[in-house]
Amino acid sequence: MAPYTLAVAALLGLAAAQSLGTASKEVHPKLTTWKCTKARGCKSQSTALVLDSATHSIHQKNDTTKKCGNWGSGPDAAACPDEATCAKNCVIEGISNYADYGVTTKGGAVTMKMFGKKGVASPRIYLLAADKQKYEMIKLTGQEFTFDVDVSKLPCGMNGALYMSEMEAAGGKSALNPGGAAYGTGYCDAQCFVTPWLNGVGNIGKKGACCNELDIWEANKVATQVAPHVCSKDGIYGCTGEECTKTGVCDKNGCGKNPYTTDKSYYKPGGKVDTSKPFTVVTQFPASNGTLQSVIRKYVQNGKVIEDAASTIPMDDAYCTKNGATDYMRLGGMKGMGGAMSRGMVLAMSIWWDEGGFMNWLDSGNAGPCNATEGDPKVIRQVEKAPSVVFSQIKWGEIGSTFSGKKNNRWDRE
């Protein structure tokens, strides 16, 4: 996703600790998801969710009032002189009630609220496999991914995001990180942020946590964007120095497509995609000989399929080149992004605001109708006292297998 400011990142608190605490048991909310084929339809599976390790209570072993590090500065030097000592000195506790942190589930739906029991929660969650010990590894090259979403309570400045990250299935679980995926460890993305822990181990070298990132959905009720971000390294990678910058190993900006740039009446309350009501988002990833060719977006609402704005212009390497996504192309383009998608990526969902940039990159200027200050969290609180997003009916499988609906010819002619 677009770069968090340090102020926003601070809301995520600390990254995961290694030793497991006993103060609270980890209880993962269940979430039904579906895998689909054309021949057999969609088959439900009993998956679950885990909050990012940063949300868990983290403290030093012998003093629960002391933290083990801060965002952007690596682990505490006294508690973490080396990786092994760090694992002994730092403790991560389980979360028994996810509702306290703004996350609730019912069947195949998850509601994420910006505020939790103790104020701003800004939760980020990952999809666990049925065993709840590893992340569900989703392979999307040549496939499609579909979900329903309700963005009606996301005003200007908010972002309800659904995306893929090339994390490890076990979340870096090891002798120094016994919690692993079950405690939400091992996060990485194309922004390469420095956190106290890298893949669940004390980040003594203060490296950035980099990996391929596929932003399928970043949106509020007036703007949305799809944007793959590719890296030149496979899997999670600890960057240093120039590697972590815009000219380094990962594409920070991504190759983005936002319908507002071509049709200002397309995506909004009462629009062609009416964001005052729930709708279905379909994203297809056609491939040739195993190589990703493009990204195709469709919507379904009221039983009708709505083709993407500027649907005749494919989002492929030519599109990315023409629209100035130079880093995306430099680091591998669609072929590189498809490589990560073929290896398998982890589904992440989040709700957040941008205290530094007010989310202008998503919904202001050429990107959306919001003015420069509407995304200020102080303004958001006045407009919507309880920002939230609901993701449901999450399905993936063969292209054409995850959704149905009639083509809306009226909109096709516009």
- Evaluate if residue 221 carries a pLDDT over 90: yes
How far from chain centre, in Å, is Cα 285? 18
Nearest to 403 by CA among 263, 297, 267: 297
Rg (CA), the chain: 20
Residue pair 105/37 in contact by the 8 Å Cβ criterion: no
Strands (DSSP E) contained in 129-223 are 137-138, 143-150, 158-165, 197-198, 201-202, 208-210, 213-219
Give Cα 221 distance to the centre of its chain.
18
Q: What is the mean pLDDT of residues 350-363?
A: 97
The confidence score (pLDDT) of residue 59 equals 86
Q: Give residue-wise pLDDT tens across range 51-106.
A: 999 899 888 998 888 888 877 778 999 999 999 999 999 999 999 999 999 999 99
Instruction: State both tokens at 83.
Output: 């990786």
How far apart CA 227 and CA 146 sit, in angstroms, is 16
Helix (H, G, I), strand (E, B) or coil at 327: helix
How do strand 304-307 and strand 406-407 relate by DSSP bridges? parallel
Please give the average per-residue pLDDT across 322-334, as a whole number. Answer: 98
CA distances to 7, 110, 200, 265, 355 from 11, in Å: 7, 21, 19, 34, 10
**3-state SS class at 22:** coil
- Over residues 187-209, the pLDDT tens digits come to 999 999 999 999 999 999 999 99
The more confident residue out of 222 and 58 is: 222
Contact 223, 368 (CB under 8 A): yes
Reported as a pLDDT band with limits 50, 70 and 90, residue 13 is very low
For 92-119, write each residue's pLDDT tens digit.
999 999 999 999 999 999 999 999 999 9
Positions marked catalytic: 213, 218
Could you tell me which of 302, 309, 285 has the C-alpha nearest to residue 406? Answer: 302
Identify which of 318, 301, 219 has the alpha carbon closest to the alpha carbon of residue 260.
219
65 versus 354: which is more confidently predicted?
Answer: 354
Q: pTM for the complete prediction?
A: 0.93
Residue 272 has pLDDT above 70, yes or no: yes
As a whole number of Å, the end-to-end CA separation of the chain is 31
Residue 411 has pLDDT above 60, yes or no: no
pLDDT at 229: 98
% of the chain surpassing 70 pLDDT: 94
pLDDT of residue 117: 95
Tell me which of 56 and 405 has the higher pLDDT. Answer: 56
Determine the pLDDT at residue 18. Answer: 61
Report all structural domains of the chain as residue ranges with CATH numbers, in order of start.
25-398 (2.70.100.10)
Q: Is the pLDDT of residue 265 over 90?
A: yes
- Cβ proximity of 253 and 242 under 8 Å: no
Q: What is the pLDDT of residue 156?
A: 98
